[in-house]
């Protein structure tokens, strides 16, 4: 399914593949691309059969960031990206990153070529990033006199020390995939990140969707929370899982019984 002629969404065997599809512009982000990404996220959220997502970019680059000429020439487009009713909620610009964090299934970004500015913000919304060793990653906004405002700072504070995050943001330094792995921005390196991302996604899909979804929520919500809240969430999620059928299915699978997992719990 092609969304706004900007994103391809394909769901097959419970795996969603999302491809940024503007290769002639190196997948640069115009208003239609922002809208297409959020619509893909909404379609995945509504499809309870989906068990994992692989996010990639068509052409030679993952995404080179904002299509500055397209966005800047129309002030209304800027307002549409930045407007929000409530300050603590994501606007359209932020949703393209934050939306992946909100999905109850694991999201794996396969990064090749350039992943700059808004492209890196999108990738930071994923749970895992498989990166080519010679890819180029950069928090590029400082080059344009801006700060990153697409939600990627949520992941940066989880992945990097504060001084490293500030340095990369202030300088717009370009990192190779290998350097990104050293710093913690990449989960692993692969010459063929798309193929490895698919392999990893299918491995995750072998386990209970309830346990996978609960694990994602647990770590997202408890990573920087106090000990009391983290312990409470552990217990709450475990009780919910035990009340569902997928945990019993997981036990039967471990004993050699051929059986399939049912729909995931609504978290």
* 143 contacts 172 by C-beta, under 8 angstroms: yes
C-alpha torsion sign, points 21, 23, 27, 30:
negative
Mean pLDDT for the stretch of residues 8-16: 97
We find that the CATH architecture of domain 2-204 is Alpha-Beta Complex (3.90)
Task: Identify the pLDDT of residue 265.
Answer: 87
H or E element in which residue 2 lies: strand 2-3
Q: Where are the domains of the chain?
A: 2-204, 209-254
Residue 17's H or E segment, with its range, is strand 15-20
Which DSSP string do the residues of 139-151 spell out, in sequence order? -GGGGGT----SS
Name the band, by pLDDT with cuts 50, 70 and 90, for residue 3.
very high
What b/e string do you get for 5-43 counting C-beta neighbours within 10 Å, with b at 16 or more?
ebbbbebeebbbbbbbbbeebbbbbbbbbbbbbbbbbeb
Residue 115: predicted pLDDT: 98
Least confident segment among 101-105, 153-157, 189-193: 153-157
Per residue in 84-128, pLDDT (tens digit) is 778 888 999 999 999 999 999 999 999 999 999 999 999 999 999
Q: Which residue has the higher pLDDT, 175 or 226?
A: 175
């Amino acid at each position: 399914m092609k969304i706004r002629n900007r994103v391809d969404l394909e769901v097959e065997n419970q795996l969603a593949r999302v491809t940024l599809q503007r290769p002639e512009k190196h997948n640069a982000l115009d208003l239609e691309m922002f809208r297409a990404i959020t619509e893909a996220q909404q379609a995945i959220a509504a499809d309870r059969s989906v068990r994992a997502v692989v996010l990639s970019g068509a052409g030679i680059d993952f995404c080179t960031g904002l299509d500055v000429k397209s966005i800047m020439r129309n002030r209304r487009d800027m307002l549409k990206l930045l407007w929000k009713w409530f300050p603590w909620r994501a606007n359209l610009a932020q949703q393209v990153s934050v939306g992946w964090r909100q999905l109850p299934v694991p999201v794996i970004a396969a990064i090749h070529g350039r992943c700059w500015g808004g492209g890196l913000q999108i990738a930071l919304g994923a749970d895992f990033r498989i990166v080519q060793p010679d890819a180029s990653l950069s928090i590029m906004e400082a080059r344009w006199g801006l700060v990153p405002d697409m939600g990627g700072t949520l992941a940066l504070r989880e992945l990097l020390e504060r001084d490293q995050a500030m340095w990369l943001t202030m300088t717009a330094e370009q990192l190779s995939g290998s350097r990104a792995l050293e710093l913690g921005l990449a989960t692993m390196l692969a010459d063929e990140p798309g193929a490895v991302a698919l392999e990893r996604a299918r491995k995750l899909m072998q386990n209970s969707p309830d346990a996978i979804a609960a694990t994602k929520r647990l770590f997202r919500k408890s990573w920087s929370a106090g000990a009391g809240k983290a312990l409470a969430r552990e217990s709450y999620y475990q009780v919910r899982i035990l009340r569902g059928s997928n945990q019993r299915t997981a036990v039967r699978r471990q004993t050699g019984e051929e059986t399939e997992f049912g729909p995931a719990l609504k978290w």
